Structure 1
Amino acid sequence: MFANKVVLITGASSGIGADTAVEFSKLDAKLVLTGRNKENLEKTAQKCEDVSPRKLRPVSVIADIVNETDVEKLLEETINHFGQLDVLVNNAGILGLGSIEVTSLDQYDRIMNTNVRGPYYLTMLATPHLIKSKGNIVNVSSVAGIRSFANFLAYCISKAALDQFTRCVSLELASKGVRVNAVNPGVIETGIHLRGGVSEEDYAVYLEKCKETHAIGRTGTTKEVADAIIFLASEGASNITGVTMPVDGGRHAMCPR
Structure 2
Amino acid sequence: MASFREKVVLVTGASSGIGEATAYKLAEHGATLFLVALEEDKLQIVQQKCREKGLAEEQIGYCSGDLSKSAFREEIVRNLIQKFGRLDILADIAGSVLFSSVSETKEEDYDRFVNVNQKAKLFLAQLCLPYLKETKGNIIYLSSICSTIPLPTIVVYCMAKVAIDMLTKCLAKELGPHGVRVNAINPGYIVDTNILRNSTLKTTDEDQKKYADTAAEQAHLKRVGKPSDVVSLLLFLASDEASYITGSINYIDGGYHLYP
- Gap regions ≥5 residues in structure 2: none
Aligned to 2:118: 116
Aligned to 2:148: 146
Kindly provide the amino acid, as one letter, of the partner of residue 29 in structure 1: A
C-alpha separation in 2, matches of 1:90 and 1:19? 13
Question: 2:254 aligned with 1:249, yes or no?
Answer: yes
Aligned to 2:161: 159
Kindly provide the amino acid, as one letter, of the partner of residue 212 in structure 2: L
- Gap regions ≥5 residues in structure 1: none
Out of 206, 211, 214, the position equivalent to 1:209 is 214
C-alpha separation in 2, matches of 1:66 and 1:82? 24
C-alpha separation in 2, matches of 1:211 and 1:169? 33
Deviation at 1:204, TM superposition (A): 3.0
Deviation at 1:146, TM superposition (A): 2.4
Deviation at 1:219, TM superposition (A): 1.1
Contact kept? 1:91, 1:140, Cα under 8 Å: yes
Deviation at 1:242, TM superposition (A): 0.2
Q: Report the number of matched residues.
A: 255
Kindly provide the amino acid, as one letter, of the partner of residue 210 in structure 2: V
C-alpha separation in 1, matches of 2:85 and 2:207? 47
* Segment drifting more, 143-152 vs 33-42: 143-152
Out of 38, 45, 50, the position equivalent to 2:52 is 50
CA change 1:194–1:53 in 2 (3 A) is closer
Out of 3, 6, 14, the position equivalent to 2:5 is 3
Q: Cα RMSD between the aligned structures?
A: 1.3
C-alpha separation in 2, matches of 1:70 and 1:163? 24
Deviation at 1:254, TM superposition (A): 2.3
Out of 191, 195, 198, the position equivalent to 1:192 is 195
* Segment drifting more, 116-125 vs 245-254: 245-254
Give runs of ≥4 in structure 1 deviating > 4 Å.
53-57
CA change 1:104–1:53 in 2 (3 A) is closer
Fraction of identical pairs, as percent: 35
Map 1:7-46 to 2 at 5 A. Answer: 7-46=9-48
Contact kept? 1:84, 1:133, Cα under 8 Å: yes
TM-score (norm 2): 0.94
